[in-house]
Amino acid sequence: MKRNFLTVCLLVGTFLSSSVAMAESEVMPTEPFTETLDNMLKDERLVGYDIRSLTASDIDVELTYSGNHHYSDAELEPFNNGVCYALLKTAVNTGLRPFTGHTDIRCRAVQRSGERAEAGVLGTSRYQRDNDDFVYHSTR
């Protein structure tokens, strides 16, 4: 009797833990996120994006900035973080709770070559669950 009970508990525990792991790697619907990012493209600074990962545990987007302006970190940080906040809001609206779960959100900033700047990686905004905020790290 005890052996059967332990076997059932082990099977149920295995099932539940695998369900959680599958939920974390579950692909999110792209439409709400592309709609959010398309709205951000209305700002002339941002000229493109590439959704690199969109799962319940990992949202990773590369944001491409225009090469017609040389952005300082002081200019870039609030805008890049703002795009990430918009993605956080979209994630919450789709049912995720990044601030209590295990969702990693990153917005990588890259720049195209243009009149005033050369192509290159600018930095990354990353979600900090501890304080429910984004922190920008420059790569220059």
Q: Token match 């905004």: residue? A: 125
Q: How many domains does the chain divide into?
A: 1
Q: Do the domain assignments include residue 65?
A: yes
- Predicted confidence at residue 20, as pLDDT, reads 40
Show the domain range for 35. 27-138
Q: Is pLDDT at 13 greater than 50 in this prediction?
A: no
Q: Do the domain assignments include residue 12?
A: no
Q: In Å, how far are 66, 68, 108, 118, 130 from 115, measured between CA atoms?
A: 9, 5, 22, 8, 40
Q: pLDDT confidence of 5, banded at 50, 70, 90? A: low
CATH number at residue 107: 3.30.70.2960
Give the mean pLDDT of 67-88: 95
Phi then psi for residue 75, to 5 deg, are -80, -40
Determine the 3-state secondary structure of 7 from DSSP.
helix
- Predicted confidence at residue 99, as pLDDT, reads 80
Q: Do the domain assignments include residue 58?
A: yes
Residues contacting 56, CB < 8 A, separation 6+: 23, 24, 25, 26, 28, 96, 101, 103
Read off the pLDDT of residues 25-49 as tens digits, 9 standing for 90 and up. 788 999 999 999 999 999 989 999 9
Q: Do the domain assignments include residue 44?
A: yes
